[in-house]
C-alpha cells in the first residue's frame, strides 16, 4: 500500500506531489509570464553566441539555433539586451 502523499494548499486545494493542482501549476509556469523565454533560450547560452550586430540578423540566427519562432526570439533577445544593460550599469564606476 502506497503512503498518502497528498498535500493541501490553502489557496489551491488538495493535491498529491505527482499531480499538483491546476491553479498551482498555472501559477508556477506563468509566474512572470517570461518563464518559457528563459527555458527555451537560457542566458548562459545566449552569452556564448556570436550574434551579428544587425538586430534582424541576430534574431534570425537565434530563432534558427534555438528552433523557436522569430517573434519569440525577438522578445527574448530584447529582454536579454535589457538585462545586459542593467549588468553593465551596475558594473560601471560611479562618477561621484
**29: Cα separation from own chain's centroid:** 10
Q: Report the DSSP pairing between strands 6-9 and 13-16.
A: antiparallel
3-state DSSP call for residue 79? helix
Q: How confident is the model at residue 37 (pLDDT cuts 50, 70, 90)?
A: confident
pLDDT by residue (tens digit) across 42-94?
999 999 999 999 999 999 999 999 999 999 999 999 999 998 888 766 666 65
Whether 12 and 2 have beta carbons less than 8 Å apart is answered as no
C-alpha to C-alpha distance for 57 and 70, rounded to whole angstroms = 11
* Contacting residues for 64 by C-beta, under 8 A, at least 6 apart: none
Amino acid at each position: 500500500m502506497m503512503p498518502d502523499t497528498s498535500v493541501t494548499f490553502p489557496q489551491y486545494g488538495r493535491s498529491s506531489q505527482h499531480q499538483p493542482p491546476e491553479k498551482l501549476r498555472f501559477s508556477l509556469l506563468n509566474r512572470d509570464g517570461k518563464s518559457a523565454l528563459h527555458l527555451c533560450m537560457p542566458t548562459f547560452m545566449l552569452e556564448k553566441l556570436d550574434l551579428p550586430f544587425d538586430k534582424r540578423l541576430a534574431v534570425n540566427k537565434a530563432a534558427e539555433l534555438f528552433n523557436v519562432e522569430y517573434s519569440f526570439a525577438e522578445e527574448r533577445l530584447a529582454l536579454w539586451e535589457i538585462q545586459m544593460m542593467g549588468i553593465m550599469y551596475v558594473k560601471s564606476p560611479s562618477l561621484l
